[in-house]
């Protein structure tokens, strides 16, 4: 990879001259002499295929090429500042990425606000969401695939905090035979009919209990 010929300091000087409108004001803003600012811009113009600034009287005016390069220079300087901020965050022990395993039955809209608040406090930490179901949620924690798990089962040796309730409601089409019954429907009756069930994403111990005991099923990865 070829090293860039233009330094960040040169791009910063260019940006300051444009923002301040003159070499004198840019020198004051950068706490430099006007001659050093003039030299930096002259060198910048020499190093680039086309000049970025020209003088009209005492006013510094961007050329057509300068207008395009100014936008790129701003992005470059912002990226450099952000890189230093990330380095400082890492030195303080902040994680660069946090993985959250979330059971697919959890309403994602309820998590968006929490993720937004987290990102405000830790803007340089990425959030990776791992969608899981049944025992796969627990496996993600036990196999260290996730830093945080949102699910219904607390593995032995871990602590948890209740944050929400998810109500499971069995449903059937209006034309289904079960809807013709006027009495309460038992689990035994439910098992006699085909069920649409979520695929267990776990590999340690697949769960096959409760509603999953029906042999007639359509298995899906997501509702």
18 Cβ contact list (under 8 Å, min separation 6): 53, 60, 62, 66, 70
Report yes or no on 190 lying in a domain.
Answer: yes
Report yes or no on 160 lying in a domain.
Answer: no
What does the alpha-carbon distance between residue 59 and residue 171 come to, in Å, rounded to a whole number?
74
- Percent of the chain topping pLDDT 70: 91
Report yes or no on 135 lying in a domain.
Answer: yes
Q: What is the DSSP letter of 3?
A: P
> Which residue, among 5, 8, 4, has the nearest Cα to 84 in the 3D structure?
8
Report yes or no on 169 lying in a domain.
Answer: no
- Is the same domain home to 190 and 120? no
Do 111 and 205 touch, CB atoms closer than 8 A? no
- Is the same domain home to 65 and 105? no
Q: At what angle do helices 8-20 and 64-91 cross, to 10 degrees?
A: 120
- Is the same domain home to 73 and 104? no
Report yes or no on 157 lying in a domain.
Answer: no
Count the domains in the chain.
Answer: 3
> Which residue, among 169, 89, 100, has the nearest Cα to 129 in the 3D structure?
100
Q: What is the pLDDT of residues 192-203, one digit of tens each?
A: 888 887 777 877
**Full-model pTM:** 0.53
- pLDDT of 13: 92
Q: What confidence tier does 207 reach under pLDDT thresholds 50, 70, 90?
A: low
Do 31 and 41 touch, CB atoms closer than 8 A? no
What does the alpha-carbon distance between residue 127 and residue 143 come to, in Å, rounded to a whole number?
19
Do 65 and 73 touch, CB atoms closer than 8 A? no
Choose one of 91, 121, 137: the last residue of a domain: 91
CATH code (residue 39) = 1.10.10.10
- Is the same domain home to 72 and 101? no
Secondary structure percentages of the chain, helix, strand, coil, to 5: 45, 15, 40
Report yes or no on 183 lying in a domain.
Answer: yes
Choose one of 49, 65, 91: the last residue of a domain: 91
Q: What is the pLDDT of residues 76-132, one digit of tens each?
A: 998 888 888 777 766 766 778 889 998 888 888 888 888 998 888 888 888 999 888
- pLDDT of 128: 92
Domain of 61, in residue numbers: 8-91
Do 64 and 74 touch, CB atoms closer than 8 A? no
Q: What is the pLDDT of residues 159-187, one digit of tens each?
A: 888 888 888 777 888 888 888 877 888 87
- Is the same domain home to 87 and 104? no
- Is the same domain home to 37 and 56? yes
- Is the same domain home to 16 and 87? yes
What does the alpha-carbon distance between residue 221 and residue 223 come to, in Å, rounded to a whole number?
7
Q: What is the pLDDT of residues 70-79, one digit of tens each?
A: 999 999 998 8
Which residues in the chain belong to E strands, given as ranges? Answer: 53-56, 59-62, 97-103, 126-132, 148-150, 195-198, 217-220
């Amino acid at each position: 990879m070829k090293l860039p010929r233009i330094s960040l300091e040169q791009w910063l000087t260019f940006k300051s001259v444009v923002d301040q409108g003159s070499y004198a004001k840019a020198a004051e803003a950068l706490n430099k002499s006007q001659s050093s600012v003039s030299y930096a811009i002259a060198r910048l113009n020499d190093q680039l295929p086309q000049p970025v600034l020209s003088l009209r009287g005492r006013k510094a005016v961007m050329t057509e090429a300068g207008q395009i390069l100014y936008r790129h220079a701003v992005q470059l300087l912002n990226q450099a500042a952000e890189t230093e901020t990330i380095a400082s965050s890492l030195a303080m022990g902040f994680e660069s990425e946090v993985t959250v395993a979330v059971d697919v039955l959890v309403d994602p809209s309820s998590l968006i606000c929490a993720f937004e608040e987290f990102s405000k406090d830790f803007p340089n930490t990425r959030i990776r969401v791992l969608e899981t179901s049944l025992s796969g949620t627990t496996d993600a924690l036990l196999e260290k695939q996730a830093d945080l798990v949102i699910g219904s089962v607390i593995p032995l040796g871990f602590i948890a905090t209740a944050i929400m309730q998810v109500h499971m409601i069995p449903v059937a089409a209006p034309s289904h035979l079960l809807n013709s019954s006027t009495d309460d429907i038992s689990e035994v009756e439910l098992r006699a009919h085909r069920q649409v069930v979520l695929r267990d994403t776990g590999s340690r111990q697949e769960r096959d209990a409760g509603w999953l005991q029906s042999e007639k099923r359509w298995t899906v990865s997501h509702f």
